């Protein structure tokens, strides 16, 4: 890590938000002036010695970030997303919703449509107007078209193994249908999977149980974060895999299909259209704001 910047010395503003309890530290940094090392991100996300989160949403203007300049004509803002272990991720579905809510709160966006640049491409977001009895409206993200690689995958926890559906939502997922979500164990550590060559950079693993017609529940071990209360791209992958299992592929039936997905932190509604585009709707909430203590961002020997 390079020299500590003036912004780091005086402290850096942050907000805290969550989408179905998948929680994030939000670091507004329009000019990309704050250097967030992997070590600093890990300290920020530490739930005992830091702020605590599943990841960091680094808010940067697309034109100011080398990974997003090519998207600046389509989206003014770039979600530079980091997992809680400091690694960089392509996408985070719940993160995009919270990111859009922050842009609305900061006056960079209004209810309606906004484009957000991510390493998984530009995502179109719709911020609903507040409804009766609600402080804030739902946020819907167009998550793009899934890819279902043909490779067969197996997921293992302890003595149990399941075949898994390989779904790419801009980041990799292995979706296993189980009889009981408790069979996933504690998920403190990443479930084993194979063949390893299918996921050279690791994988998000979802365990899914049926709750009713077009209604499932899931648990997830997120690559780089461990088990989380929610995963937006994971919920999308689950709905896509369930539609194929249930013979409801919209490209075949010609009709959109919607699944309700229950997660430990709340409920998301996932719709796949006949053109292949997947849309995700759910809440996004900002719960706090403050300033980061400089020592959390300083390099350590």
> Number of H helices and number of E strands within the chain?
5, 18
Same domain, 205 and 124: no
Quick one: 77 and 21 in the same domain?
Answer: yes
Which comes out higher in pLDDT, residue 167 or 89? 167
Q: Decide if 212 is inside a domain.
A: yes
Which of 71, 231, 240, 248 is labelled catalytic? 231
Mean pLDDT on 42-47:
97
Identify whether 148 is part of a domain: no
Report pLDDT for 4. Answer: 46
Q: Is the pLDDT of residue 276 over 60?
A: yes
pLDDT in tens, 156-208: 999 999 999 999 998 999 999 999 999 999 998 899 999 999 999 999 999 99
In a domain, 144, yes or no: no
For the residues 274-299, what does the mean pLDDT come to?
94
As annotated, the binding site includes 22, 83, 93-94, 171, 204, 222-223, 232-233
273 falls within a domain:
yes
Percent of the chain residues topping a pLDDT of 70: 95
By 3-state DSSP, what share of the chain in percent is helix, strand and coil, each rounded to 5? 20, 40, 40
Token pair for 91: 């996408």
Q: Which ranges in 106-174 belong to alpha helices (H)?
A: none
pLDDT for the residue numbered 184: 94
Pair 44, 104 in one domain: yes
CA atoms of 40 and 56, how far apart (whole Å): 10
Confidence at residue 299, expressed as pLDDT on a 0 to 100 scale: 79
Distance of alpha carbon 72 from alpha carbon 79, whole angstroms: 12
The CATH number of whichever domain residue 173 belongs to comes to: 3.10.310.10
- Could you tell me if 19 and 123 lie in one domain? yes
> Is the same domain home to 131 and 244?
no
| Burial class, 118, CB count within 10 angstroms (exposed 0-12 / middle 13-18 / buried 19+) | buried
45 catalytic per annotation? no
Do residues 104 and 210 share a domain? no
The pTM assigned to this predicted structure is 0.88
In total, how many domains does the chain have? 2
pLDDT digits (tens, 9 = 90+) for 62-74: 999 999 999 999 9
Distance CA 12, CA 36 (A): 11
DSSP code of residue 161: E
Domain of 36, in residue numbers: 6-138+285-296
Does residue 145 belong to any structural domain of this protein?
Answer: no
Q: Provide φ and ψ at 182, rounded to 5°.
A: -65, -20
Query: How is residue 286 written in tokens?
Result: 């900002």
The token duo for 151 is 């490779």
Mean pLDDT of the chain: 93
- Are 180 and 125 in a shared domain? no
The model's pLDDT over 203-260, given as tens digits with 9 standing for 90+, comes to 999 999 999 999 999 999 999 899 999 999 999 999 999 999 999 999 999 999 999 9
pLDDT value at 5 more than 90: no
Same domain, yes or no, for 113 and 176? no
What residues are designated binding site for substrate? 22, 83, 93-94, 171, 204, 222-223, 232-233
Residue 99 resides in a domain: yes
Please indicate, yes or no, whether residues 169 and 268 belong to a single structural domain of this protein.
yes
Say whether 231 is catalytic. yes
Instruction: For residues 110 and 69, state if they share a domain.
Output: yes
Mean pLDDT of 16-27: 97
As a whole number, mean pLDDT of residues 267-285 equals: 97
pLDDT at res. 8: 43
- pLDDT score, position 78: 98
Considering the domain architecture, whether residues 264 and 292 belong to the same structural domain is answered as: no
Q: Which structure tokens are listed for 61? A: 């203007």
The half-sphere exposure of 237 on its side-chain side, counting CA atoms within 13 A, is 35
What's the whole-number mean pLDDT along residues 274-294? 96
pLDDT, tens digit (0-9, with 9 covering 90-100), for 102-128: 999 999 999 999 999 999 999 999 999
- Choosing from 92, 96, 241, 297, the catalytic residue is 92
> Are 92 and 35 within one domain?
yes
Instruction: Evaluate whether residue 175 is within a structural domain.
Output: yes
More confident of the two residues 260 and 137: 260
* pLDDT category of residue 301 using cuts at 50, 70 and 90: low
Note whether residue 147 is domain-resident.
Answer: no
């Amino acid at each position: 890590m390079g020299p500590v910047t003036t912004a780091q010395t005086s402290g850096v503003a942050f907000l805290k938000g969550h989408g179905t309890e998948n929680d994030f530290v939000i670091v507004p940094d329009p000019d990309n002036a704050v250097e967030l090392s992997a070590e600093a991100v890990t300290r920020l996300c530490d739930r005992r010695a830091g702020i605590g989160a599943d990841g960091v949403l680094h808010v940067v203007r697309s034109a100011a970030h080398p990974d997003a300049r090519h998207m600046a004509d389509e989206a003014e803002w770039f979600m530079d997303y980091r997992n809680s272990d400091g690694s960089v991720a392509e996408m985070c579905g719940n993160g995009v919703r919270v990111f859009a809510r922050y842009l609305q709160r900061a006056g960079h966006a209004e209810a309606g449509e906004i484009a957000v640049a991510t390493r998984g491409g530009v995502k179109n977001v719709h911020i609903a107007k507040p409804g009766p009895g609600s402080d804030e409206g739902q946020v819907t993200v167009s998550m793009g078209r899934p890819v279902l690689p043909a490779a067969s995958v197996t997921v293992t926890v302890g003595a149990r193994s399941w075949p898994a559906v390989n779904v790419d939502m801009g980041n990799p997922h292995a979706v296993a249908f189980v009889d009981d979500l408790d069979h996933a164990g504690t998920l403190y550590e990443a479930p084993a999977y194979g063949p390893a060559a299918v996921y050279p950079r690791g994988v998000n693993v979802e365990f899914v149980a049926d709750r009713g017609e077009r209604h499932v529940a899931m648990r997830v071990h997120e690559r780089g974060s461990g088990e989380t209360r929610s995963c937006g791209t994971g919920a999308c992958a689950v709905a896509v895999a369930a539609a194929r299992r249930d013979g409801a592929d919209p490209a075949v039936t010609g009709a959109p299909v919607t699944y309700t997905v229950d997660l430990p932190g709340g409920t998301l509604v996932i719709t796949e259209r006949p053109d292949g585009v997947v849309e995700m709707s759910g809440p996004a909430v900002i719960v706090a704001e403050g300033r980061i203590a400089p020592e959390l961002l300083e390099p350590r020997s």
